[in-house]
Amino acid sequence: MYSDMSKYEIIERMVNPGVVAVIRADSSEQLMDVAKALAAGGVTAMEVTMTTPNALQVITAVRKELGDAILMGVGTVLDAQTTRMAILAGAQFAVSPVMKLEIIEMCRRYSVPIVCGAYTPTEALTAHEAGADFIKIFPADGLGPSYIKALKAPLPQLQIIPTGGVDLSTAGEFIKAGCAAVAAGSSLVSKEVLKNKDWAALTETARAFVAAVAKARG
């Protein structure tokens, strides 16, 4: 299953509205409802991590039912083969917590955006020069927006999506520091929401994240 959207269009939808939901769940059963609730709140870009049971089947099912209403990616990919399997299952972008050239190369082969993990300036620039579309500064909670601002000063060409430590109180600050978008996991899709199946609350939280990013962009 290949995306009908071009790579450029996918990247544009990741940057606007600029919030990527990171979905980590112990079960795949609820993920369709999660996707619908997020989309209702304006968060249309989401990644299902490979640590979720039946992640590839979920990606295929959500893409089939929701189509272009959402942008479905795969997260926590650690090797090229898994990346390829996810793309063939319908993933429209891939996210890795680490910088591995084989993952970047696989995504480039299929013309799929790759968000490549990095922590240091050297890792970030190496990933960018290898063809990564976005740099996932991870974990970002120990670094904060000030680190992003410092990193972007000599390396303005980096398109950064911080992950880890991004919540409603910091999302706007990360955007102001120069991030292209933010990725939010448990602060957006919490275990409590999943447990209680509180999809209305999830929609409201998604809406609040979108508003925070829009306000920071002015």
Residue 65 falls in the annotated catalytic set: no
Among residues 136, 191, 192, 195, the one annotated as catalytic is 136
User: Token digits for 184?
Assistant: 């939010």
Phi, psi of 184 (to 5 degrees): -125, 130
Annotation says 47 is catalytic: yes
Farthest-apart Cα atoms in the chain, separation: 45
Q: 66-82 as b/e, with b when 16 or more CB fall inside 10 Å?
A: beeebbbbbbbbeebeb
In angstroms, the CA 136 to CA 93 distance is 13
Catalytic residue among 47, 173, 192, 204: 47
Please give the structure tokens belonging to residue 45. Answer: 């870009």
Task: With beta carbons less than 8 A apart as the criterion, state whether 13 and 40 touch.
Answer: no
Q: Which residues are tagged catalytic?
A: 47, 136
